[in-house]
Chains A and B, each alone.
Chain A
Amino acid sequence: MLSTLILLSIGIPWFGAFLLWLAGDGKPRLQHSLAVMFALGGGAAALAMIPLASSEVALVIPVGAVFGDFTFIADGLGVFLAAVAAVIGSLAVIFSVDYMHGEHQLSRYYAFVLFFIGGMVGLVLTSNLLLMFFFWEITALCSYALISFHNDDPKAVAGGMKALVITQLGGIGLLLGALLLFAHTGNYDITALLANPGILPAGMLAFMAFGALAAAAAKSAQFPFQTWLPDAMEAPTPISALIHAATMVNAGVYLLARFYPAFKDVPYWPLAVMLVGVITALMAALMALSANDLKRVLAYSTVSQLGYMVYAVGAGGIFAAQFHLFSHAIFKALLFLSAGAVIHAVGTRDMREMGGLGRQMPLTRAVFVTGALALAGLPIFNGSWSKELVLEAGLKAAEAGGTLWMYILMVITAGLTALYTFRMVAMVFYGQPRTERHVHDAGAAMKVALVPLALATLVSWLAVGPFSRLLDEHTLPYHHLEAEPTLVWLKEVLAWPTLIVLAVVAAGILAWFGREKLAGITQFLRGLNWAASNSFGFEAVNRAVVAAVGWLAEKLRAFQTGQLNWNIFGLAAALVVVLAILLAGA
């Protein structure tokens, strides 16, 4: 039963991708309906897995000794993320029916979206590290292809390349970890490693742990790899919502959470993870404050919120990290999709040209504000509760390990989050219209996608109890998470540190409304603003790396003579070297 569902939840979207590719262009109605049908099918299969979650191996595909058996385990963590990917994937596809209306090459678009959904589901369900790497790269490939969907736009192509190169760079860390595991144990079984990290020598385990951190940082756009995500905003907006807010960028957090039991005793690893999270969260929040492109603000806020999750994993709050991931996936998908409705209507992404849109787009304003309040961390919205859990995990770690300064920085970041969120909402929906434009509200398919997300943003925190049962020891035997009823969780959240956090959030909101009075301070902070809008020099570093690689490649051309004789010489020389090594080893 479970094995069928696993195959279905991967297979339905992939089969749909194949069909759409076969269908070809020029039949938009067929393409839209096929895509929606297969996305919904995948979503249903993924949802049906949730009650069946268990830590047993559910599906084995033997593929021979070299790759190890391809095993799938539908445990709590896996089915939860699979459901997020498939359900938000379905909503993004439904939204696309309106958003991509009239676009050419819909087959390519939908085929990659569906291929991505299947790949993401596979990524979180497999327990074979090599197979996980394959799925990991499938998601990276789809992300690249969809960022560059408008391949006649140089900015989109450049953004796609940047995303691909940076995430591949991190992916090497994951691949090396997988090969190390194979070299020492003879298979790629993740469960065995989680059960007993001692099967690897300490040095190798540390190498694998930091390799996984690099892979996760690159995938989740964490420091120092955060630069690709803002440029990925050239993608069509449903893609930004699905891949670059709700699912793929969470894969890094998933990886860290999945391997936490194995890596938590590696010296300095939890500290490094927390540090990455804190630096990213703070820096991205500052950049969000200085950005003027609506989607870029959302991208920076995604980076910042992912920083919260990474920080929580480092602090040992696996449950908090996953719950924040859950909340964030919902409200950020909502924000991106409603931003997509705005952009679709206005035709620009620059917030300075918006303003006063609320009167013309009442529904979009309502759902956007819902998402924004969740992002800002106001109570009764899901983002607030999960952020509290994250900060509480941080406080516990601070009591245990003297990382109080990190906790304080994270609380300040929560205030900054509220500030930039209110700035964004005010610039888009309130005030006087800054351009004369006739604007229409979201279309029917858009509403179908937006309204469920808005409702979920309001109530998903009530699911904290069932959610903790899903992730308890029965489905994740090595993480030692405890299941509690919702009320216990809520009581735990409503402790005194929460009041401090809420006060900081309120201060952030007040700072926006009192910005005229604070003009003196903002003058003082101009230098910081300048640094933030230049992404703290990371773009310059990127450009320098690209230039250096280009220079080196130009120099290496000397070896590429294009002449057979030299190539044969190279082959023969390499053969001699290999033989010499073999002889020396024998």
Chain B
Amino acid sequence: MNSIEILPVVIAAVFCLLGIGIYALLVTRNLIKVVVALQIMVKGALLALVAAGRLAGNVDLGQSMALTVIVADTIVAVVGLALAVQIRRHFGTLDLKSIATLRK
């Protein structure tokens, strides 16, 4: 199977992942689920990076960018989950609506 045929599948996967992530961010009110949704979106972006590298004929660059993003993304997930733990301890809930103190 060569790259021309696999490309539509990859792009479809990218849009699916991004769409699922955005949909989840729009509807969920649970902080853990927000972190999960962000992770799903970033996985879509990773796939797009690798595909773009392949398309541009610069596979190495695309993959190394993807690896860099994986590292950064892991940190985001760790910090996000740590925040979630602290928020749970502080507020006693993970519901976004009840921890939204920005507008008071």
Contact = CB atoms under 8 A, between A and B. Distances in A.
Interface of A: 557, 560-565, 568-569, 572
A563 B26 CA distance: 10
B8 to A, nearest CB: 19
A568 B100 contact: no
A561 B96 contact: no
B34 interface: yes
B100 to A, nearest CB: 4
A565 B27 contact: yes
Which of B25, B29, B34, B104 has the most CB atoms of chain A within a 10 A radius of its CB? Answer: B25
12 contacts: A561-B100, A562-B101, A562-B102, A562-B103, A564-B25, A564-B96, A564-B100, A565-B27, A565-B29, A565-B96, A568-B26, A572-B26
Interface string B85-104: 00000000000110011111
Contacts of B26: 565, 568-569, 572
A311 B34 CA distance: 61
A564 B28 CA distance: 9
Contacts of A563: 96-97, 100
Which of A560, A561, A562, A569 has the most CB atoms of chain B within a 10 A radius of its CB? Answer: A562
Contacts of B103: 557, 560-562
A572 B29 CA distance: 17
Interface string B8-26: 0000000000000010011
Contacts of B22: 568, 572
Which of A563, A568, A572 has the most CB atoms of chain B within a 10 A radius of its CB? Answer: A568
Contacts of B104: 562
Contact of B100 (A557, A562, A569, A572): A562
List 3 A-B pairs, minimum CB-CB distance, nearest first: A562-B103, A562-B102, A562-B100
- Interface residues of A, dominant DSSP: helix
A490 to B, nearest CB: 67
Contacts of B25: 564-565, 568
A560 B27 CA distance: 18
Interface string B62-104: 0000000000000000000000000000000000110011111
Contacts of A557: 103
A562 B96 CA distance: 10
Given A563-B100, A565-B96, 16 more contacts: A561-B100, A561-B103, A562-B100, A562-B101, A562-B102, A562-B104, A563-B96, A563-B97, A564-B34, A564-B96, A565-B25, A565-B27, A568-B22, A568-B25, A568-B26, A569-B26
B12 to A, nearest CB: 17
A561 B25 CA distance: 15
A563 B103 CA distance: 9
Interface of B: 22, 25-29, 34, 96-97, 100-104
A560 B104 CA distance: 11
B84 to A, nearest CB: 13
Nearest to B22: A572
Contacts of B27: 565
B17 to A, nearest CB: 15
A557 B102 CA distance: 12
Contacts of A562: 100-104
Contacts of B102: 560, 562
B4 to A, nearest CB: 23
A263 B101 CA distance: 52
A326 B22 CA distance: 62
A561 B101 CA distance: 10
Which of B27, B34, B100 has the most CB atoms of chain A within a 10 A radius of its CB? Answer: B100
B76 to A, nearest CB: 15
A560 B103 CA distance: 7
Contacts of B28: 565
A557 B97 CA distance: 17
A560 B100 CA distance: 11
Nearest to A566: B26
A459 to B, nearest CB: 62
A572 B23 CA distance: 10
A558 to B, nearest CB: 10
B61 to A, nearest CB: 21
Nearest to B28: A565
A562 B29 CA distance: 13
Nearest to A575: B22
Contacts of A569: 26
Nearest to A572: B22
Nearest to A561: B103
Nearest to B21: A568
B101 to A, nearest CB: 7
A564 B100 CA distance: 8
Nearest to A569: B26
A573 to B, nearest CB: 11
A128 to B, nearest CB: 34
B42 to A, nearest CB: 15
Nearest to B31: A564
A48 B59 CA distance: 58
A560 B101 CA distance: 12
A563 B27 CA distance: 11
A509 B25 CA distance: 75
Nearest to A563: B100
A572 B103 CA distance: 21
A355 B14 CA distance: 81
B51 to A, nearest CB: 18
A576 to B, nearest CB: 11
A570 to B, nearest CB: 11
Contacts of A572: 22, 26
A565 to B, nearest CB: 6
A274 B5 CA distance: 70
A434 B25 CA distance: 72
Contacts of B96: 563-565
A435 B15 CA distance: 81
Contacts of A560: 102-103
Contacts of B101: 562
A162 to B, nearest CB: 28
A333 to B, nearest CB: 47
Nearest to B29: A565
Nearest to B34: A564
B60 to A, nearest CB: 26
A565 B33 CA distance: 12
B30 to A, nearest CB: 11
